[in-house]
Structure 1
């Protein structure tokens, strides 16, 4: 019985010592390498600031024209294009243009980063079962761990601002593009690969000439999910100094402003619907193009 009463106390002491050790180690690491990390991310910060200023300085008709052109190029649907243009007109009319442009800037940069990092990682996973076994648990942790938990080390290392917010968004949003790239490449018909090998194709030629083109519908499904998950982090990112539609939503929560929160929340929903419809339509077009046998 004495052992049963002493054992929990010993466990608590060991846990307390472990926590103190982790805290001290991380503080030492942040003091030692904090400046180097800030210098490493400085070009990314400059690009984000430049891109946001570009969107804010551009005349609104040009932005809406570009949005309409991109929506048409992706969806080939007048309904989606008209809906996107009307949504942005409504956003400007209700005074949410600047916050929307700031959100558009960080979502665009986060999506580009996730694609640039996620697709190569997904390719590595598809080419190696060992790499897949190694990376899959990491993706599971990234998708399940609460975002507030990994915000702590990011903020401790880089402080409050755009770059920590971007990193937090990317951590949350990158798993879908990695998983679906891996899945898409693994689903490529083995007979097609054997035919490519019979014609003397190298590994690089098979990858870029056969596997990636056939996996594009899955990859674009991953892009779609990555954009949706990045948008869902807008409000949380605003807690660490990221400008955008999340800031007024956070202010509305703090001060119980229903109308303010509702309007900005609907603006986030409008962005999500536009991105979702355009990327889904493009993915379906790729799928039908593949099935028609003209890939």
Structure 2
């Protein structure tokens, strides 16, 4: 049933080709350069550091935050990544995940704080987060490629859009869940709004915020294979190569590598949240 034609496709293309790209291409080029330099720096650092040192650091972190069982799994997991010659690819994936998570947390936590403090901002942010989380993943790739080309930068941008909402939502939730009695007692003792936020609400909300960071990391890792379709290096590219060549062994090897990194990061961030 077609009552009238809505030329949304034409409007969108006219907007992108007629205004967005000609006017903002310089801005997006600078953003691409900054993020690209950030990714390259983290990737080169992780690859430059000897694998044994990174493995020891991860094992110690797992031991201190999550216990001996997770430390043992981290030992086995890092040995696996080295034994199947996927260590460089693992570090490339880890670099993209770290950069995406850092950007998501740096932008997401302040937005979550503002949303918790202001109901108007919360009403504006909530539907935007719903849109970001319900839009199909592959749709993110189109504007990412259009504005940033191919490679790690569009992968980080697409991953940020997909993985940032939990950081915003959980920060908002954590602050709102602080008991009202505690807030009123703090105000009664003369706390300023900034003191109330940084000395009462945020410390009590840390476990919930860390849960949001944990979800952000997991969502970023889930984008590894999808991001490889637009040129992102790492384990996702290994899995994609296995799919395109119908190489089951290669796909399984790369997929298990992603699982290993996901479990290690998940347990460490969960344990860190519990410690804090």
TM-score (norm 1): 0.90
Residue 33 (structure 1) aligned with residue 33 (structure 2): no
Structure 2 match to 1:45? 36
1:209 to 199, 204, 209: 199
* Contact persistence 2:32–2:148 (CA under 8 A): no
Residue 66 (structure 1) aligned with residue 65 (structure 2): no
Structure 2 match to 1:239? 229
Structure 2 match to 1:99? 89
Shift of 1:81: 1.5
Structure 1 match to 2:254? 264
Equivalent-residue separation in structure 2 for 1:134 and 1:142 (angstroms): 13
Residues 73/27 of structure 1: CA separation in 2 closer, same or farther (3 Å cut): farther
* Contact persistence 2:141–2:158 (CA under 8 A): yes
Equivalent-residue separation in structure 2 for 1:74 and 1:281 (angstroms): 5
Structure 2 match to 1:293? none
Structure 2 counterpart SS, 1:160? coil
Aligned length: 275
Select the structure of larger CA radius of gyration.
1
Residue 54 (structure 1) aligned with residue 34 (structure 2): no
* Contact persistence 1:110–1:169 (CA under 8 A): yes
* Contact persistence 1:249–1:265 (CA under 8 A): yes
Equivalent-residue separation in structure 2 for 1:256 and 1:147 (angstroms): 23
Residue 160 (structure 1) aligned with residue 150 (structure 2): yes
Shift of 1:68: 1.8
What are the Cα deviations for residues 100-146 of structure 1, in whole angstroms up to 9, with x where unaligned? 01001111111111111111011011001111111111111111101
Equivalent-residue separation in structure 1 for 2:264 and 2:155 (angstroms): 23
Structure 1 match to 2:137? 147
Structure 2, unaligned runs of 5 or more: none
Shift of 1:90: 1.0
Equivalent-residue separation in structure 1 for 2:225 and 2:145 (angstroms): 16
What are the Cα deviations for residues 153-194 of structure 1, in whole angstroms up to 9, with x where unaligned? 121111112111101001110111111110110010111111
**Which shows bigger deviation, 277-286 or 182-191?**
277-286
Structure 2 match to 1:186? 176
* Contact persistence 1:34–1:158 (CA under 8 A): no
Shift of 1:200: 0.8
Structure 2 match to 1:4? none
Structure 1 counterpart SS, 2:231? coil
* Contact persistence 2:65–2:275 (CA under 8 A): no
Structure 2 match to 1:278? 268
Shift of 1:148: 1.0
